[in-house]
Structure 1
């Protein structure tokens, strides 16, 4: 790096980026994004990376700190990168997230007053019902477990965590200790030695259950029986343990899971329904806020007993089954076949007979239904949003109401632009703080065909 980039600049943050970086302007108008700098704070910074139109920097000295700055609760805050807003007062976190959606509305030339107050949490900690944990060996040869350090593949050995549930963290600590007692090693991709790659822990605080899926580099590990015996003896909440040899550690993996203990699903209760959630099934990670999110979405839809509804990207049927008793029929679409199997099982489990599910790509399945007249469509896509052809099909079908649930304001903005151009009007947007301490914001947008 040249000497110019090592120069110190005294700056004041004028805004925050979508991922919580402070925005500053140098005297010549050059924009720099600075980590750990809140809006309104003054600091000396050093530029660490320079591009033509903007750069990145770090604080070398604070001159004036914000009154809304907090000391982060978690000792891993500066290494982990998972809770990027933990140094910010919770009310300010909420204002920042609502502001992001108000900016979206302004960009779309819509009235930002139609963004409702954000639905917040009373206790914005220990809310995650699912965590994905990576394994590694430390320099002493001990197995460690945690999240990747921000922008690296280095595992942070978790000594505490304020977003995962306390029961999940206790289970993780116990599991790590037992693996070390049994000398079960983490997989090293360079040496190809070891066996443990990662795991997915799910827990239901309401039903006091935990299930875990272990992603392995091999078909099995020789200490499996001892591991099961020890962990189930010391933790009575464990209801299922699965193992799978896989290259794909994501929920999209189709590698066959082998059950080594109990059952292959977790029971969870949501809006008076019971759901069986498989090891890889998609289910919102914050059960308390999911209920509030779905209540808000159903309220915005203004449903009646004659309505025919589509639930696109339906997963295991959590939205479809939550609204089924309020409508005539609901049709769910999901690309993951195992999720559709779960959705059908969950419909039977709750004695719901007016919900129908089909596996396939949303834009292709919906084409088959073009001749039917639907009253409302619920959309809850992944972060990448909807494909343009899917939105064009909705527009062509002239579905009167759309309820769009999104976890990404950027792709939501793009998709809403298409829908507005197709004749839809935004009525209101309700933000939901599904992921406190992080920069992510969930929202429900209500649209009607003009």
Structure 2
């Protein structure tokens, strides 16, 4: 049993998928942030978890040869990045190796591609969520959360965002301060301003969403005028009302304060309308690489019927429509389906139909009527597909399944469940979130009786 604030010393044996380094202290596993395999480190126990302890790094006694100087002054406290202390080529190799281990663990006949990285793994994020709160001295702080906590790190800029976003970052904080906007305090559950979300398109235009606890916005005009002053790149501002005391950022009600309430972006030659709640990949450059590769893997001939599950605002569905006979996009979020239909009209695409439904339930309905489907595309959340979805998929028996995932562990678990009926040969990896522990994986599964 290790107590809080106990100092420990040991060698880092491996890096977990979440970016934490693991060392053994007698019979206990201790997980340390910002370390590398083979390093001898000293750390302080901060938290007991199910399978060991979390510890803060005190000192690297023996550094790894792949350790590099960290460019961010907030890295030791901020939870946004995991690998700023590692040379980027080794980050890509580590992500590749982690997926190889999963493939071996699930005994799948998959060749793992080298993770496709970026030439410059910074300034890639097109979405910022700036959170507001108060510290113990009742002072306003704004920035990102520490890992495994709801303690805010007061941040001035972020390496994962471009200069325009960081300049706006600073400007928004000044506006809040000068207008004396009352910020929300998680401890007391009181206050007004919770978050500010910023979305940027390829033109450098911004949609700013002010997330607050009430519809009444005192000093709204002054704040809006100050926010817009000298920043013509802000094309729309939305007030989002979230009066729930939860970790969910956005509420259901919105009021457009300025502009149209959305921005438009171009992805793989198509135009997409993006509102505050739209699911849209945060790394434009890597997203185009991923989608281009994923569609090429399918080798569609133009006579196929495709079901795109978890379809969001229709990005993949609309790209598929250029190559397939008919596409059905299935999404449970009503607002996302509304956005998808708008995007369908924007791009004048006729052979797509968007359905508001749980993907698993929709698949079950198709299976019951024995609807012939050639291809199913699935891009679920990190938890992967549930049993109902997998059962319906196996009953429907499409010729091919394209599985895109931001969590290779649940992806491999799901593929294993389908392995009696479907074969697969290769997993393609893309570094959608450089300097973090996440990686995106794409696998094409084909029915064994037609391979």
Whether the TM-score (by the shorter chain) exceeds 0.5 is: yes
Among 262, 265, 268, the alignment partner of 2:262 is: 265
Determine the structure 2 residue equivalent to 1:100.
98
Determine the structure 2 residue equivalent to 1:398.
397
1:302 and 2:302 aligned? no
- Cα gap change, 1:250 to 1:405, in 2 (>3 Å): farther
2:134 and 2:434 map into 1 onto residues whose CA distance is: 30
Among 271, 275, 279, the alignment partner of 2:272 is: 275
2:280 and 2:56 map into 1 onto residues whose CA distance is: 37
Determine the structure 2 residue equivalent to 1:379.
378
Determine the structure 2 residue equivalent to 1:212.
208
Determine the structure 2 residue equivalent to 1:436.
434
Among 171, 176, 181, the alignment partner of 2:173 is: 176
Determine the structure 1 residue equivalent to 2:410.
411
Q: CA deviation at 1:271?
A: 0.5
1:283-321 CA deviation, whole Å, 9 max, x = no partner? Answer: 111111111111111011111111111110000000011
2:437 and 2:308 map into 1 onto residues whose CA distance is: 27
Determine the structure 1 residue equivalent to 2:340.
343
Within-5 A mapping of 1:77-96: 77-96=75-94
Q: CA deviation at 1:372?
A: 2.2
Determine the structure 1 residue equivalent to 2:108.
110
- Cα gap change, 1:392 to 1:228, in 2 (>3 Å): same
Within-5 A mapping of 1:220-235: 220-235=216-231
If the length of structure 1 is used for normalisation, what is the TM-score? Answer: 0.92
Q: Identify the range of structure 1 (88-97 vs 165-174) with the bigger mean alpha-carbon deviation.
A: 165-174
Q: Identify the range of structure 1 (178-187 vs 362-371) with the bigger mean alpha-carbon deviation.
A: 362-371
| Other structure's SS at 1:234 match | coil
1:261 and 1:429 map into 2 onto residues whose CA distance is: 44
1:95-144 CA deviation, whole Å, 9 max, x = no partner? Answer: 111111111110121245x1112111111001111122211245776643
- Cα gap change, 1:387 to 1:431, in 2 (>3 Å): same
1:344-385 CA deviation, whole Å, 9 max, x = no partner? Answer: 110110011011100011111222323321111110111111
Determine the structure 2 residue equivalent to 1:134.
131
1:246-286 CA deviation, whole Å, 9 max, x = no partner? Answer: 13577796622011100111111000001001110111111
2:189 and 2:29 map into 1 onto residues whose CA distance is: 44
Q: CA deviation at 1:418?
A: 1.1
Backbone CA RMSD of aligned residues: 2.3
Q: Which runs of 5+ in 1 are unaligned?
A: none
| Other structure's SS at 2:419 match | helix
Q: CA deviation at 1:202?
A: 0.5
1:409 and 1:339 map into 2 onto residues whose CA distance is: 25
| Other structure's SS at 1:296 match | helix
Q: CA deviation at 1:170?
A: 1.6
Alignment coverage as a number of residue pairs: 445
| Other structure's SS at 1:38 match | coil
2:241 and 2:252 map into 1 onto residues whose CA distance is: 7
2:50 and 2:219 map into 1 onto residues whose CA distance is: 55
Determine the structure 1 residue equivalent to 2:238.
242
- Cα gap change, 1:190 to 1:47, in 2 (>3 Å): closer
Determine the structure 1 residue equivalent to 2:387.
388
| Other structure's SS at 1:215 match | strand
> Does the 8 A contact of 1:251 with 1:281 survive in 2?
no
| Other structure's SS at 2:131 match | strand
> Does the 8 A contact of 1:143 with 1:179 survive in 2?
no
Q: Identify the range of structure 1 (347-356 vs 32-41) with the bigger mean alpha-carbon deviation.
A: 32-41
1:397-431 CA deviation, whole Å, 9 max, x = no partner? Answer: 1111111111112211221121114x111221011
Q: Which runs of 5+ in 2 are unaligned?
A: none
1:325 and 2:287 aligned? no
Q: Identify the range of structure 1 (39-48 vs 437-446) with the bigger mean alpha-carbon deviation.
A: 39-48
> Does the 8 A contact of 1:143 with 1:176 survive in 2?
no
> Does the 8 A contact of 1:207 with 1:267 survive in 2?
no
Determine the structure 2 residue equivalent to 1:316.
313
Determine the structure 1 residue equivalent to 2:195.
198
Among 119, 122, 136, the alignment partner of 1:122 is: 119
If the length of structure 2 is used for normalisation, what is the TM-score? Answer: 0.92
